[in-house]
Structure 1
Amino acid sequence: MEQINYCPILKAKKIKADGTCPLHIRIKVGSSITEISLKYSVTKDDWDAVRKRVKPRNPNAALINAAIISHENNIVQIGADLRLTGQVITAQVLKMRISGGNNNMTLLSLFFKHNTDVKARIGNDFSIATLRKYELTKMKLEQFIQSKYLVDDLQIRELKYGFILDFETFLKSTQKLAHNSAIKHIKNLKKIVRLAVQLDYIEKHPFDAFKCSVAEVNRNCLTKDELRRLIEKGSLNSRLEVIRDVFVFCCYTGLSYADVAKLNRDHINGDGKDELRVIIIPRTKTKSNCRIPLLPVAEAILKKYIPFTKADKLKRLLPVNSNQKFNEYLKELATLCDINKTLTVHIARHTMACTVTLENGISLEVVKTILGHKNIRTTQLYSKMTDIRLHAEMNTLILKTFSNKNSNPTLCK
């Protein structure tokens, strides 16, 4: 059980016009830290930094010190009550209880509680990647609140529609985020405020009218020629050869980084004698099953790494580096193969959807199953009309409609 630590402090850097500095109590429980304002201010000379009390020479010393003692006792009592009832104890929860209950719940306190709940459910219905996204949004909110309002946190009931507009501007200007990246953080913020409504901290969602519209993105993929150059590239060192093989495998299976990293023998179905073997694996992101027939190129790569699989304790099928290193080495590989694109595993997934399947006439329904999408509208985002598919379909139209000269209409002179 986490120990509750608290300490009265003088905010020496926040000097007011009269030369005094505000007094706070800092609370720390495990990794969670917060502060409570005591609503009093004293000069640096009137503060005893060792005893953490106001010196007797200050005319309000007795009153302020009594308030400090009262807050300290309150922290201890509330902490004991929370432990007795088996509730989660964080610095933010203590601050909320001391400040007076639900009506004084703060935005970052609730965000912290939400993230704590997500962390507890990792491996069940949340992933570490999801937690990291929420933590990043919380960090950007902290930076925004401190820069805009000059405070550490805001009470949820104080939030107005202008807050989300200012947060969007902060993300796009100060943080230099693109529109879609900013919208992801705003969606996370709206979820937290929606949670506040559900928990009766506020009656109405102040940001309900804000529309999180996402700009259409050009989803890059490799062309057939680029994919061929990548596959046929020789004279690679062992490090880049492994990276190339894993990337090409993703191009022919559509697996994400998280899914190819955990791929093992148990995910392969069939013996490959009478029909293609199939990968059946739940997507890390959505938990929906992918069913991916193993094409010859993918089969050849798996065969190449059988010795690795036999030696690997987890029986993984491919030696996958960390995501950071993998993307770093892909940049090097792209340069060697004269590919003027930023290679990522997601580009490999796009390549499977567009170049490998859709351009060869595979239906959207089949591609949806391979990619593990829950909704075909998601698959349609990958199915951009490439030049090859456009020309092929127009040539079919020409052959069907204009091949017979007698049936062609003649322009009037």
Structure 2
Amino acid sequence: MKTNFSLLFYMKKQKNYTKGIAPIYMRITVNGKRAESATGRYCEPERWNSKSGRSIGTKEDSRLLNSFLDQLQNMVYEAHGELLKSGYVITAESIKNRFMGREDKSLTLLQAITEHNQKVEALVGKEFVQGTLNRYKVLKKHLEIFLSFKYDVRDLDMRNVDIAFLNEFDYYLRSEKSCANNYTVKMIKNLGKIINISLENGQIHTNPFAFYKGRTKKVDRYFLNQEEIQIIANKKFTSERLDMIRDVFLFCCFTGLAYADVQKLQHSHISKGFDGERWIIKNRQKTNIRSAIPLLPSAVNIIEKYKNHPVCLNKGLVLPVPSNQKMNEYLKEIEDRCEIGKKLTSHIARHTFATTVTLLNGVPIESVSQMLGHTNIRTTQHYAKILDIKVGADMALLKNKLAVI
């Protein structure tokens, strides 16, 4: 980060000063912010040159004072150089602390995130889920790269995280990383949680988020209709890999499971329900909320198909699900071959379960919400809002009923 650094020696007269010697102070300034310290030396006002910051004259005491101030200046410049080499953002206070041999105890941005992540990691499975920890790890990685890219530093004093920094980070995510609006805003809001913790702990005293204007936008959710599901289900693949990914995707369409849940789905999560049928009963990875899902015949058939798969046998899993990156990569191939004109993701499969598979077939929204493991039924209502076709079907039924009156 480019900094404007200057050093000044000046005479500091007390309010009650009348005559005699006065103390000499040192002032370090970085980007307009100051740090001051007494030098422990004194001089008569008439023998002090405020412009040069040195004593006037050739007397021994003047030469000794100027020599001492020269040494201090060299030591301050050396401290500044050491901080430059260290790769950390330079402040007037950090130069002063380095010069005086003090440990700079100011909190840094990456230190705050590291401490936060360590606490979250210790509580995964108790108060937090793995997905929460992963999001903050991604935030830390983004910030590490951003600090190096934008400011050429390895860390930043938390006191320097201001609205200008947030706006630069916002722009970086959108431009350099091609992140969508909602991802960018959510990432910066995660950073806001770290800053709020520092505020509560008294480690910083101003909140830059009071001025941040980023807002998430409503995103139109899309899903597959019955015909599109059939196209994918009936497509012939010569690749066993694509055949397997298609089955995992369809399983999500028939169960509503998110990627993180289907990847970790074990046979112990499947049990016989009160109706004698097989149910998936497990807590969601994202929210730790219990979901109970009766298995449709199509989902049962997929389970049976892979019950003897080596990966499933070795790890006790229901399906051989690859990494999220590979899953989306292979779904792109399936998307291209099926030519349905919609992007296929594991989340679209979940949307499809909520709409085409359940709501459009008359399953009450309360039941859909429970199967999806939503914490609030309003989340499920987002799916219902996009189902104009369901409204049309419901009104057609009403017309038929009214026709016989």
* Same fold per superposition (TM over 0.5): yes
Q: Verify the 8 A CA contact 2:129 2:288 in the aligned structure 1.
A: no
TM-score, normalised on structure 2? 0.69
Q: Deviations over 1:54-92 (max 9, x none)?
A: xxxxx9699649977xx9xxxxxxxxxxxxxxxxxxxxx
2:178 to 158, 161, 176: 176
Q: Deviations over 1:107-142 (max 9, x none)?
A: 232122222333444454445543332233233334
Distance 2:320 2:149 in 1: 45
1:113-262 equivalences under 5 Å are 113-146=115-148, 151-208=153-210, 210=212, 213-262=215-264
Residue 306 (structure 1) shift? 2.5
Which residue number in structure 2 is paired with residue 343 of structure 1? 344
Return 248-257 or 225-234, whichever deviates more: 225-234
Q: Deviations over 1:35-65 (max 9, x none)?
A: xxxxxxxxxxxxxxxxxxxxxxxx9699649
Q: 1:372/1:170 Cα in 2 relative to 1: closer, same or farther (>3 Å)? A: same
Q: Verify the 8 A CA contact 1:252 1:297 in the aligned structure 2.
A: yes
1:268 has 2:281 as partner: no
Return 243-252 or 203-212, whichever deviates more: 203-212
1:70-81 equivalences under 5 Å are none
Which residue number in structure 2 is paired with residue 6 of structure 1? none
Q: 1:209/1:60 Cα in 2 relative to 1: closer, same or farther (>3 Å)? A: closer
Q: 1:256/1:100 Cα in 2 relative to 1: closer, same or farther (>3 Å)? A: same
Residue 245 (structure 1) shift? 1.4
Q: 1:262/1:225 Cα in 2 relative to 1: closer, same or farther (>3 Å)? A: same
Q: Which amino acid aligns with 1:258?
A: A
Q: Deviations over 1:202-235 (max 9, x none)?
A: 2343314546532111112111001112222235
Which residue number in structure 1 is paired with residue 300 of structure 2? 299
Q: Verify the 8 A CA contact 1:309 1:318 in the aligned structure 2.
A: no
Q: Which amino acid aligns with 1:356?
A: V
1:362 has 2:363 as partner: yes
Q: Deviations over 1:269-288 (max 9, x none)?
A: 1179x542111011111111
Distance 2:398 2:200 in 1: 56
Distance 2:359 2:102 in 1: 60
Which residue number in structure 1 is paired with residue 316 of structure 2? 315
Distance 1:170 1:181 in 2: 12
Q: Which amino acid aligns with 1:268?
A: I
- Which 5+ residue runs of structure 2 have no aligned equivalent? 6-69, 83-97
Distance 1:127 1:195 in 2: 19
Task: Tell me the matched-pair count.
Answer: 324
Distance 2:309 2:246 in 1: 16
- Which 5+ residue runs of structure 1 have no aligned equivalent? 1-10, 18-58, 72-93, 408-413
Q: Which amino acid aligns with 1:302?
A: I
- Larger Rg belongs to: 2
Distance 1:179 1:275 in 2: 46
Return 289-298 or 378-387, whichever deviates more: 378-387
Distance 2:162 2:237 in 1: 61
Distance 1:16 1:296 in 2: 70
Which residue number in structure 2 is paired with residue 76 of structure 1? none
Which residue number in structure 1 is paired with residue 288 of structure 2? 287
Q: Which amino acid aligns with 1:244?
A: R
